[in-house]
Amino acid sequence: MDQGETVVIPKATSNPWGKTPDVAPCSLMSVMDEQLAKDLQDKEDDAFKLNSLHVDLPGIDSNNPDVDSDLLLAQMLQSQFDKENDHMVNIYEQKYNGNSKVSLSFDNYKSIHSIIKDDSSCDELDEHDDLDTLPPPDHGMDTKASKTKTTKKKITTKHDALLCGRKNARSLEKFPPGFAAGDVGSKKLDLKLSNSVYNTLKQHSYREERQSHRLHEKKEHSTHEQALDPKTRLLLYKMVNNETLDNVNGCISTGKEACVFHANGGRKESGEELPTECAIKVFKTTLNEFRTRERYIKDDHRFRDRFSKQNPRKVIRLWAEKEMCNLSRMQKAGISCPSVVLLKKHILVMSFVGRDMKAAPKLKDAVLSSNQMKLAYEQTVEMMCTMYQRCKLVHADLSEYNILWHDNRAWFIDVSQAVEPIHPHALEFLYRDCTNVTEFFKKRGVPDVMSASQLFLKVSELDIPLCDDENHFLSKVHGYERYEMTVGGRKNCQPYEFDYFFNKTTNGGSSSDDSTDE
């Protein structure tokens, strides 16, 4: 062995079996040669990497050794600048998109070279590490949305037709209880409704709910059909409580303007006895079935200043008061009609035309012999003449429906729409009454029935030429209304002392005043 060589002998290790492993001898020179070879290999790698980054620039001679170092430095600086620019673009892209499900890419704004992007994998990892260390934006990223973006799956938004259809079907359960939606909450039934169908059902539900509220409120505050509103029931309860009425029985009849109930009379507060059987006429507070009431009361001079279109209850009170006045006037003249007992707002208590809770039949429904029918016709004509000439009233709704047959006599009822002869349409109403009476008794075969024109002249006692054509005669009646009233008034149309008789009726005047000239 040479003197310059040093032999390194490893330290012997103890072995439980007393055997030492064989170690290959290694010299210091061989170790230094390996280190030198590694250094040379590293330099070769660096040189190869620099050569691969060589880019030919116009106007620069790459073979000139004086500019090689400057070119390399410029390329390195440009590469570093591009990396910083791309890093900032990534930051802007992340802040701009936030947690939006639809993101925009800023790749077109990046300037990193493709060669550097391929070779510098380590730099890419470092760049991603730097991006991961950035603080997240304040928008609160949704983990589900982030996962959707990273995995690039199909994005499902809230506008998806399938999701909206199922959501609309579940929303039907929130509709009002009266809405017939069916078993929409069943798991077996996968019901889906489009937005247009759901919106239509929703609007329909709202309309039905508002309509039900209006109908409910109207029923609570109005008298309609055979039902009584709370105010009317309270008035009847007070009458029974103060013994004005013993009890209130069922409904007798229903008309377009009122409902009539049967009741047993008691006594007034003054002690006056009431009839054993009474009829309670409750005027309807709705104007749906009889919308032309104002035609009869607006032009009546007795109630003209008190008429109001705005409050139906005030109009109904005037209507009840008007019937009370007309009945009182007819009874003083000896016409067969119910007698007035009591008036409370829109409730009129009258004597009952009938017996044992059974109302007298209407002339339309009464079964009469030929002699009785002829007697009924004669009595009707006589009462029409008395009503116009002495009471100064025109019934304005006289027909077989408003004439009762009781105790072998004809009775007039329902005179709330009756007007005075000086009313602008009084003659028109009278001719209509005459037409109704004539047609009914002719259908029943009563002999010697006058025509409508003859009956009109007999009742009104007007000097209008008689003609066979009813339309021509009616035009003469209209002409008389337009012109004769402005000249000097009608025959037998002296003003009726309404104020005197009304005060007498309400204040309970003595019977000696009945002889006052009408």
Under DSSP, is residue 264 helix (H, G, I), strand (E, B) or coil? strand
Q: How far apart are CA 8 and CA 12, in angstroms?
A: 12
CA atoms within 13 A on the CB side of 121: 0
Of the candidates 229, 300, 397, 433, the residue annotated as catalytic is 397
Question: 307, exposed or middle or buried, with CB in 10 Å at 0-12, 13-18, 19+?
Answer: middle
Question: If we measure between CA atoms, which residue out of 271, 223, 277 comes closest to residue 247?
Answer: 277
* 443 neighbors 450 (Cβ within 8 angstroms): no
Greatest CA separation for the chain: 176
- Is residue 82 part of the annotated active site? The answer reads no
Is 481 within 8 Å of 424 (Cβ atoms)? yes
Closest-CA residue to 383 (of 444, 295, 455):
455
Q: How far is CA 507 from CA 235, 297, 437, 500, 504, in A?
A: 21, 24, 37, 11, 5
**d(C-alpha 260, C-alpha 280), whole Å:** 5
Closest-CA residue to 322 (of 255, 411, 414, 404):
414
Cα gap 105→93, rounded to integer Å: 7
Residue indicated by tokens 């790459």: 62
Query: Helix, strand or coil for residue 254?
Result: strand
Which residues have CB under 8 Å from 511's CB, separation 6+? none
288 touches 298 (CB < 8 A): no
Catalytic residues: 397
